[in-house]
Structure 1
C-alpha cells in the first residue's frame, strides 16, 4: 500500500466527484473501500481539492481558499474528546460548515464566566472597517467585554479545550468576548471575516491574518428568543446553556454562506461568549 501513487487519473476522478456534489468524506470513504491507503488517500484528496479550488477561485476573481479549523468527525460519531472534556455532536452542516456542540462548557463554567464579565460590560462595538478601529453600531444592541487570551484559569481552560476540539493552535485565537443581550436586543446578520475591500482591513490583518472560524458559546438559556441564525441556509441554532455553535469560512467572501446573526431576545436575557480564530498567531 505504501507504494500507491497519486496519478493524474486519480486527481481527475476526485475533481469529478467534487463537481458532482460529493462531500469530501464520501469521496474518502469510496477511496478507502477501493483499497487506498488512508494516508495516501487523505493526501491526494486534500492536495487535489485545494489546487482545484484555488484554480477555480482565480479563474472567477475570487479570494483563494485557506486551511480552516475543523473537528475530526469520524462518520457517525456522536461525541468528541476535547482535551479535558467530552463534547456531544448535535448537528452538522457542510455548506456552510457548521457544527453544533453539546456541553462544550459545564453549567458551573458558564456561571463563572458570566460573573467574571458582569462588572466589565460596556455597550458593544463593531469593527470600523474604514479605519480599523471600533464604533457603536445600531445593528448590535448588546453589552460586552473582552478577556485577554488566557487572562485567567477559566479562559485558559476553555481556550485549550477549543484548540483541542478544532485542531487549531491556541495562540491563533482572539481573547474571549462575552456579550449580554437584554429583551429586544439583537445582532443583525453579518459576516465575521474582515472585508478585504475596506481600507482599514490591512491594519487589522497585521495582528494574525484573517478570521477563519467562530465559536459562539451559550452561557445561559433565555426564556424565549435569541437563537443564532444563518439566513442563507434558513438555519437557527437554539441558545442552550453550555452548548456552542462552530462555523468556519475559508475565504472572506459571501460564497462561504456564513452570514449569521443573533435573533432578538423576546424574554429574559441571553449571555454568550464568542471565540474568533485567526489564520496565524494573534498578537
Structure 2
C-alpha cells in the first residue's frame, strides 16, 4: 500500500474483502478495526472503508485499487469569528478529524424564546428511527418531546434556516426541517449516530433522494440547571448547554467517531433546536 499525493492505493483483493463484508452486514467500524489488526494504518483503513460505504450508498462503482486519502475539509469557516446573517459568531472550541466546534451567539434570547413558544403546542413524544426496520420507536431513556418545522415555515424559521446553513457551509436547500426538542428533568438520549443506516427501504429511499446526512448543528435554547450535556463518548468531550450557543459536528462518510448522546437532565429542563444537512438538496418524500 502506498501514498501518492492525495491518492491511496491498495490491493484489489483488499477491496474485494471490504465489499464482501459490507454486503454481509459488517459494520464499517468493525472492518476498520480488522484492517488495523492486519497492520493497516488507521487513517488508511478508515479512508478505504469510507470510500466503499459512500459508493454503496450512492449506487456508484466500487473503488478498485485507489481511493482519495485526503480527509474531507471541514465546512465550518476558519478563524475565531464567523460572520453570517449580519451576526458575529465566536468559535469557542474546535477539534478536527472529524470537526466538532462550539459556537457562541448563534441565536439571541428573543429567537430562543420565540422558537420555544412556537414549538410548545406542537410537541409530541420523541422517537428514534430503528436502523433495521426503518420504523419510529421510543428512545431507551426517558423520552424527550419534539416537533419539526417545515423549511422556511415562518419568516423566523426561514431566517434561521439560512443562518444555520451558512454556518454549516452548505446551501439552505440542503437542510432538513428544523427540529425542536424538549427534555424534562430525567430525560436524555442514548448514544447514537445522526447519519442514516442504509439497511432498510425507507433510509435507502431517503439517501437516494437527498444524499446522506453529513453534519449536525445543535443549538441550546435555554440554560440548563444541571446535566443535559451533549456527550461525544469516543472523543472524551462533553458540551454544556448555554442559551444561544451551539455545537456543530461533521461526519462525512458516516464517521463513527460522531457517536453522541444527550446526558440526562438533572435539574430544570432543556430545549434544543437541531439542524441536519444533506449531501444534496433535501426532498422529504
Distance 1:220 1:15, change over 3 A: same
Maintained 8 Å contact 1:129/1:198: yes
Tell me by how many angstroms 1:224 deviates. Answer: 0.7
TM-align CA RMSD? 2.7
Query: Residues 79, 140 of structure 1: CA spacing in aligned structure 2 closer, same or farther, 3 A cutoff?
Result: farther
Deviation, structure 1 residue 275: 0.3
Cα offsets for 1:102-142 (capped at 9, x unmatched): 00000110000000000000100111333434222324620
For residue 153 of structure 1, report the CA deviation from its aligned partner. 1.1
Answer yes or no: is the 8 Å Cα contact 2:145–2:181 preserved in 1. yes
Name the CA shift for 1:59/1:106 in 2 (closer, same or farther; >3 Å): closer
Give 1:58 deviation, angstroms: 5.4
**Paired residues for 1:84-95 under 5 Å:** 84-95=86-97
- Where does 1:166-181 land on structure 2 (aligned, <5 Å)? 166-181=168-183
- Cα deviations across residues 17-43 of structure 1 (Å, max 9, x unaligned)? xxxxxxxxxxxxxxxxxxxxxxxxxxx
Does the CA contact (< 8 Å) of 1:177 and 1:275 recur in 2?
A: yes
Tell me what 2:275 maps to.
Answer: 275
CA distance 1:69–1:170, change in 2 (3 Å):
farther
Aligned equivalents of 2:105, 2:165: Cα separation in 1 = 16
Q: CA deviation at 1:60?
A: 8.7
Superposed CA deviations along residues 207-255 of structure 1, whole A, max 9, x for unmatched, are: 411100000000001111101000001100010000000000011242x
Equivalent residue runs for 1:61-100 within 5 Å:
63=54, 70-73=75-78, 77-100=79-102
Aligned length: 233
| Partner in structure 2 of residue 266 of structure 1 | 266
1:57 aligns with 2:48: yes
Q: Do 1:100 and 1:244's aligned partners in 2 also have CA atoms closer than 8 Å?
A: yes
SS in 1 for 2:157: helix
TM normalised by structure 1 equals: 0.75
The one of 148, 164, 172 equivalent to 1:146 is 148
In structure 2, do the counterparts of structure 1 residues 124 and 56 end up closer, same or farther at CA, with 3 Å as the change threshold? closer
Distance 2:100 2:249 in 1: 4
Q: Distance in 2 between matches of 1:91 and 1:232?
A: 17
Q: Secondary structure at the match of 1:220?
A: coil
Distance 2:131 2:73 in 1: 23
Tell me what 2:166 maps to. 164
Q: Secondary structure at the match of 1:96?
A: coil
Q: Contact (CA 8 Å) 1:69, 1:213: kept in 2 or not?
A: no
For residues 73 and 142 of structure 2, the distance between their equivalents in structure 1, rounded to whole angstroms, comes to: 27
Q: Aligned runs of 1:11-22 on 2, under 5 Å?
A: 12=4
Counterparts in 2 of 1:67 and 1:201: CA distance versus 1, 3 Å: farther
